[in-house]
A and B are shown apart, each in its own frame.
Chain A
């Protein structure tokens, strides 16, 4: 079992896919990591030997921001926007999209689940 910064990598998957279980590493970065360390992309995690694993861990800790560190950085950036009170900060506070998307409908990712309002006037058919 390979553990990198507190994340268990699945044993039965290819290295390329396994590395993406870590927050902050996608397919592209995973490919880069493996290529730089001369490890076959299609090699499964259980087939890695200790040396290869050590190489990967060393590379990641040296070059890439992952997991908690990355999360705190993102939170800090959002907090900065909120504190200076610029337009993007205000949108963050309201929980609305930041980049000028429409909000008449859609944008449910930012707004969350639909909240129906009770006692809203209904159109009465004659």
Chain B
């Protein structure tokens, strides 16, 4: 079930605080976060995030196209390396 429109999109308020700080001071500090469920807003563009995938932090540079997606979509939690015996000769 999708989120109620009344509430609006979920954005982690701590992230917004950090992004605003980054934007006003014009520094490119990487933002470490576990908030995979937070939506990417237009203000995030140009910042780099370190998004946790359960194991380690994956760095994501936010571009304009990514607005509206969630942060977690860009740091995959599962790694598939192929089946055994599927090796190419």
Contact with B along A70-106 (1 / 0, CB 8 A): 0000000000100111111010000000000000000
* A119 in contact with B85 (CB, 8 Å): yes
State in angstroms the CA–CA spacing of A120 and B83 once bound together: 11
Count of chain A residues near B, Cβ 8 A:
11
Q: Interface size class for chain B? A: 10 to 19
State in angstroms the CA–CA spacing of A95 and B83 once bound together: 16
B76 interface neighbour in A80, A84, A90, Cβ under 8 Å: A90
Q: Is the interface of A mostly helix, strand, loop or mixed?
A: helix
A84 interface neighbour in B63, B83, B86, Cβ under 8 Å: B63
B85 interface neighbour in A80, A88, A117, Cβ under 8 Å: A117
Q: Which of A50-66 contact B (CB under 8 A)?
A: none
Contact with B along A36-52 (1 / 0, CB 8 A): 00000000000000000
> Can you give 14 A-B contacts (C-beta < 8 A)?
A80-B65, A83-B65, A84-B65, A84-B69, A85-B74, A86-B66, A86-B69, A86-B73, A87-B73, A87-B74, A88-B73, A90-B76, A117-B86, A120-B85
Q: Which residues of B contact A (CB under 8 A)?
A: 63, 65-66, 69, 72-74, 76, 83, 85-86
